[in-house]
Structure 1
C-alpha cells in the first residue's frame, strides 16, 4: 500500500471489546483529508453499521492479512485529537480498566460546523505574553517560580484570606496564587491548565487572571457555556499559541501548546471526581499528564486531601511551605473553658459576637443543608431518623404537624430507632431557608441574604448583612466577613462516608478563609481532633494522622479499591482472576441493586496494572459471552460486568 494508506482508528463505543485500534484502508478520495486526529466514520462488519471514530495514527502497512474495509468518510478537516491527549486518555483508561473512547467523549466537545468554519477562516490574535510579573504569592519569593520552571510536582497550603485585586475586585487568595502561577508559565510561552471544582471558583480565578494577563490568552471551558462557545475555545486550544485554559474537571484533558503548568484548586472536592465511566479523578489524570509532559503540577488547598498526603509521604509531590503562618481565629464553642449548657443552636458568645460584627459589615452563617423543614434524629442515641418504607430522612413539614419522610411522604407515627429502640425524635438540622427566617426575626433591621444551590449568590458587599449559606455556596464578601458561624457541625459528621471527616474539615476551612483578618470564626457543636485541627489551622497534620489510620485498616487511599458488580457467577470469576495477585484482598460479594452482587477488591498501588488488566479482560469476556438458545425462550445476553476503580461510593 502507498504511504499513509492505512488508518488506525479508535471506534467511539462503550463496548469493552472495541477498545482497541482497528486498521482501515484509506481510499483515494479521502487521502488528503485523512490525518491523525480527525473524526471519521467507519463501517462495522456486524450488521453493516456505520460508527464514529478517531484516526489515531497512519501507517504504511497493516498486520492484518485479510482485506481491509475502507474509511466511510472524514467528518472534519481539523485534527481535534492531539497526540498528547490520546496518550493521556489511553493511560488513564488503562489505569481504570476503562475505554479510552469514554474519556475522549469527555475531553472533546461536540462539533459545531458553523463555528469550525468561522474558526478556520479567522486570523486569531492571541495578544502579547505577560512581562515584568510580580512574585507568585503564597510562598517564599522565587520558590514556586523555580518549581514551575523545573517541572516540579508541588502542594502548597493556600493563604486563608481574601485579597483585593488591582481592579478593585475581591477574591480568595488562592485565586491570586493560581493566576500568577499561570501568568509566569505563560510568560515563558508555555500553556497552563487551571482546574477548579465549580463555576464559583472559576469566576474568582478569571477575575484574578484579568488583572495579570491579556484576556485573549485565557480560554474558558465548562458546562455553563453554550456548545458553540465551548467548541470554539477547544479549537483555540489546539492552535500553536500558548494559552491559559480554565475550567472544571474535564479541563485536564484539554489540548495545550507546550504545556508548562497544571494547577488544581481543592482537589478533595467531590466535584473533581468524574461520575461517568471510567470515573478517573481529575487529580489522577493530572498526575498522569504531568509525568507524560514534564509540566509542573501545583495542588493548592486550605485542607490537604489524604490522597495528596500519601503522595507527599512517598516523595512524589513536594510540600512547599507557605510564605508566612497566617490563620483565621477559629473558636470551637465545645472546647471553651466553660462550655454553655443546653442545646442552643447558636451559643450566646457566638450570638453576641455576631451582633457586634454586624455593626461593621457582613456576617456568614454556614448551615448543613438547604430547605425549610428540620431533619430529625433519635433523641437518645442521635442516630439520624430514617423512613421505614424507603430509608429517606425524616423531617417536620414547614406547616407543622407529624414528622414525615422527605422522599416518599410517609408519616413517621410509631417510629422506633433501630439502634437503641428509642421512640422520641429531636431536630438536628434546620435548613438554610428556616435559618434565614429565624435570623430575620431576630435581627429585624438587618438584611438577610440566602445562598444555596437553587439561589446562588456569588458576592456580598461590605455593608452589614447576615449571609446564610449552605456548605460550598458561601459568597465571597468585599473585605471579608466580620464574623463566621459554622453551624450544624455535628449533623454534617453523621453522613455515612469514609471521607466525612475530611470533607467537613474542608468545608469549614474554606468558609473560615472567607473571614476578614482577625475576625472570629465559631465552630459550633464539634470537639475532638477535627476542632483542634481547624482551630490551630493544622490540616496537614490531621491528614497525616488520618492516612496513618487508614493505612492500618487498608482503607483508601492507603490502598486502591475497585468495585466489581455483576451476577454471582461473573463476580466469582472476576474475583478469582485477581485473587492470586500480590497485595490483593477481596471483600464480599454482597447483594447489590437489580439482583446483582458487588465485591470490593483492595490492592496495593504496585499491583494496579495487573489488577486492571485482569479485570478488564474479564469484562470483555462477559460482554462477548453468548448464551445457548433454549427452545421457547428469547435469547438474552448476560448482564454486563461493571467495574469502578477508586470508587467514591465505597464506604
Structure 2
C-alpha cells in the first residue's frame, strides 16, 4: 500500500453534520487490514472520543497536506459494506434529505463475533448445486423474458391459492415470485424478494423450496435471532447466487450479481420505513434497479397509485396474466334479512344465504374491520362516548358480559356514570370487532366451528373442513383449496375513514381477501357501491388506480407531486423555505402543532426533487450545527428543524 494512501470513513453518528466521509491516515501496523468495507474504530477530535465507522474506500491522499488522525483499530477483517450498498444508501439518503448512516444501520446487521469466527474458519466450500430454470406459469414467456432481459414490470397477480408438492397451500402469487427467483438463480444471479410481513415470507419461502435447495435460500427479517440474521448476511457477501426473501430492509441486501428485485404489494404500509430518513422500500428498489440494471417486478392484486404513475410514464410495463379467471365478487346493499340471527350478525341477506350454503362444503372467510369485541361504548341515554373516570380514556368491552375497562389505563369501570347526563346504562356503538362477530356467528351457525384470526390470534392456515373464519384485514389465513365463500363486511366503516389513501387501501384489503376464494366461489362485498364496487366486481383494479391518480393530479396530491414536511420553530421553518433554490409549486401552512412548533408542507415537481432535497438537507445541518454550538459544552441538543420528504402523514390524518 502506498504511504500516501488514506481511508475514507463514514462515521456511525446520528448527527446530520457528520453525514460525510472523513479522511484518516492508515498506520503501518494496519496497512494490510484496512480495506474498503471493514468496520473500524476512529477518533473524533471534536468529541474527544473513539467512534465506530465503516471504510468506504482506500484512496490516494488528496490536496490536504496537514496531519490526519490515524485509524484506531480494525474491528473485523470482513468487508461488510459493499460499494453497491454504499452507493444505494448514499443516493437514497440524498433523495430523502437524510443521512446515509441511518440507512446503513438497516442494511448491515450488528456484528456477531462467533458467527464471524465460523465464517472465517470455513475454508472448504461445498459445490454449488445445479438449478434448473422453471417456467413461470400463467404469464406465458413474459416473466421469463423479464428476468432474461432485465425489464421493469407492474405485475397483476393471479388470484387464488396453489398446492405445493408437500401438500401445503400458499397464495398463487408466492409461487409466481418463487418461479421468477429460481429462474434468476439458474442464470447465476441473486434474486431479492421483498414482502410486507412474516406470513408472506413463510409462503414465499415454502414456494422457493420447490425449486431451490435450502442452501440457496436466505430469509432476512427482524424476527430472526441476531446470529441467524448476521449469518445470512455474510452468505450474501459471497459469489453464490441466492434467493433472498425478507421484509422492507431486505432491499439493501448485498449481492455481487443482482439479477432481480421483486416487491409484493407495495401499497402495504409495512413497506414504509418508520425510521429516518423514511425511505420506502419501493423507492429504494427503484434506485437500486437503476444503479444495477437488474429486473424489477412490482406485483399485487390491486395496483398502488405510485406504481400506476410509473406505468403511465412508461417506466414500468403492465403485465396481466394470460387467461386467468378472476374471483366472482358481488356487491350488495347493506339490507338485513328478516331473520333475527342475520340481523345480529350484521350480514346482508345475500351474504347470509351465501355463507349458509357454502359452509356445508368447506370454510367461509368473514372479513371485519376491527379486532376485539366492540370499538366503543356510549351512554345509552345521551349517546356520549363513555369515558374512564380516572384518565378520561374511552371505555371498551373485551367480551360479552365482561366489565368495561379503559382502553388507555386499563382501569375497570364497575360503577360508571355519564358525566353529561348522569346515566348509568351503556350500549355498544359502531361495528362489532372480530370477537363479537365470532360470538354472533357462533349462535347463528350452531355446530359450525368458528375461528378468529387477528393480531391477538395469528393463524396462517386452516383446513378444508367446514368452518367460519373471522379475520381482520390483512390477517386472513389461507384455506386448503380456497374458501368456499368470502364475506367482506364493514365496508362502510372502512371507507368512512378520512385519508388520502382510504379508497386505495380498501380496494387492496378486499382484493387480497377475495383472492383467497376457491375457483367459482362467491365473494360478497357489503355496504359499498360506486367505483370501488365496480372495480371489485369487474376485477379491474388498475382502472381504479388510473382514476385515483387522475384525481390526485387535479388536486396536486402525492404521488402526482412530491411533498416535503418542514417542522420546527416558526423562524427556522420560514428560513428553510425562503432559502429553497427553486420555486416550489406551493407551500401549505405553517400550521401550529403546539409547544412553539409549526409545520409547513412544500409541494414540488419531481424534476425539482434533487435541488429541494439538497437545500433542505443543508438547512437541517445548519440548524443542528447551530444548536450544538449554542449548547453548553458543545453537546448536541434537539434540532430546531425536522425535514421529511414524501411524507404522507399529513394527508392520512383523519
TM (norm. structure 2) is: 0.91
Structure 2: which 5+ residue stretches go unaligned? none
State whether structure 2 residue 252 is matched by structure 1 residue 248: no
SS at match of 1:331: strand
In the alignment, which residue of structure 2 is the partner of 1:291? 290
Displacement of 1:273 after TM fit?
0.4
In the alignment, which residue of structure 2 is the partner of 1:645? 645
In the alignment, which residue of structure 2 is the partner of 1:213? 212
Q: Is this contact kept in 2: 1:565–1:592, CA < 8 A?
A: no
Pick aligned residue for 2:418 from 413, 420, 434: 413
SS at match of 1:517: strand
Moved more, 325-334 or 598-607: 325-334
Could you give the per-residue CA deviations for residues 581-628 of structure 1, whole angstroms, max 9, x where no partner exists?
A: 144311111122543111111111111000100000000110011489
**Distance in 1 between residues matched to 2:168 and 2:591, nearest whole Å:** 53
In the alignment, which residue of structure 2 is the partner of 1:193? 192
Could you give the per-residue CA deviations for residues 132-184 of structure 1, whole angstroms, max 9, x where no partner exists?
A: x4421231x21111121111110111001111123322111100110000011
SS at match of 1:75: strand
**Distance in 1 between residues matched to 2:463 and 2:127, nearest whole Å:** 34
Moved more, 427-436 or 228-237: 427-436
**Distance in 1 between residues matched to 2:629 and 2:306, nearest whole Å:** 47
In the alignment, which residue of structure 2 is the partner of 1:300? 299
Displacement of 1:108 after TM fit?
0.4
In the alignment, which residue of structure 1 is the partner of 2:589? 588
SS at match of 2:487: strand
TM (norm. structure 1) is: 0.92
In the alignment, which residue of structure 2 is the partner of 1:419? none
Displacement of 1:193 after TM fit?
0.3
In the alignment, which residue of structure 1 is the partner of 2:600? 599
Give runs of aligned pairs for residues 127-142 of structure 1, distance below 5 A.
127-131=128-132, 133-139=133-139, 141-142=140-141
State whether structure 2 residue 350 is matched by structure 1 residue 349: yes
**Distance in 1 between residues matched to 2:28 and 2:42, nearest whole Å:** 15
In the alignment, which residue of structure 2 is the partner of 1:16? 16
**Distance in 1 between residues matched to 2:493 and 2:127, nearest whole Å:** 50
Aligned CA distance change for structure 1 residues 39 and 525 (closer, same or farther; 3 Å): same
Displacement of 1:448 after TM fit?
1.2
SS at match of 1:256: coil
State whether structure 2 residue 286 is matched by structure 1 residue 274: no
Aligned CA distance change for structure 1 residues 638 and 287 (closer, same or farther; 3 Å): closer
In the alignment, which residue of structure 2 is the partner of 1:421? none
Aligned CA distance change for structure 1 residues 274 and 627 (closer, same or farther; 3 Å): closer
In the alignment, which residue of structure 2 is the partner of 1:99? 99
SS at match of 1:569: helix
Pick aligned residue for 1:487 from 489, 501, 505: 489
State whether structure 2 residue 41 is matched by structure 1 residue 36: no
**Distance in 2 between residues matched to 1:126 and 1:222, nearest whole Å:** 27
Q: Aligned Cα RMSD in Å?
A: 3.0
Q: Is this contact kept in 1: 2:138–2:324, CA < 8 A?
A: no
Q: Is this contact kept in 2: 1:394–1:405, CA < 8 A?
A: yes
SS at match of 2:436: helix
Q: How many residues align?
A: 639
Q: Is this contact kept in 1: 2:584–2:602, CA < 8 A?
A: no
**Distance in 1 between residues matched to 2:290 and 2:634, nearest whole Å:** 50
**Distance in 1 between residues matched to 2:584 and 2:487, nearest whole Å:** 45
**Distance in 2 between residues matched to 1:29 and 1:297, nearest whole Å:** 45
**Distance in 2 between residues matched to 1:496 and 1:376, nearest whole Å:** 22
Aligned CA distance change for structure 1 residues 125 and 642 (closer, same or farther; 3 Å): farther
SS at match of 2:364: strand
Aligned CA distance change for structure 1 residues 627 and 253 (closer, same or farther; 3 Å): closer
**Distance in 1 between residues matched to 2:544 and 2:338, nearest whole Å:** 24
Q: Is this contact kept in 2: 1:130–1:213, CA < 8 A?
A: yes
Pick aligned residue for 1:448 from 447, 450, 453: 450
Q: Is this contact kept in 1: 2:566–2:601, CA < 8 A?
A: yes
**Distance in 1 between residues matched to 2:138 and 2:50, nearest whole Å:** 53
Q: Is this contact kept in 2: 1:192–1:259, CA < 8 A?
A: yes
Aligned CA distance change for structure 1 residues 401 and 58 (closer, same or farther; 3 Å): closer
Displacement of 1:62 after TM fit?
3.0
SS at match of 2:536: helix
Could you give the per-residue CA deviations for residues 405-444 of structure 1, whole angstroms, max 9, x where no partner exists?
A: 633679793679xxxxxxx987322111111122222223
In the alignment, which residue of structure 1 is the partner of 2:49? 49
Displacement of 1:73 after TM fit?
0.8
**Distance in 2 between residues matched to 1:612 and 1:224, nearest whole Å:** 33
Could you give the per-residue CA deviations for residues 320-358 of structure 1, whole angstroms, max 9, x where no partner exists?
A: 12212421111111299x999989710122112212111
SS at match of 1:303: coil
Q: Is this contact kept in 2: 1:403–1:413, CA < 8 A?
A: no
**Distance in 1 between residues matched to 2:418 and 2:402, nearest whole Å:** 11
Give runs of aligned pairs for residues 84-233 of structure 1, distance below 5 A.
84-122=84-122, 123-125=124-126, 127-131=128-132, 133-139=133-139, 141-233=140-232
State whether structure 2 residue 370 is matched by structure 1 residue 369: yes
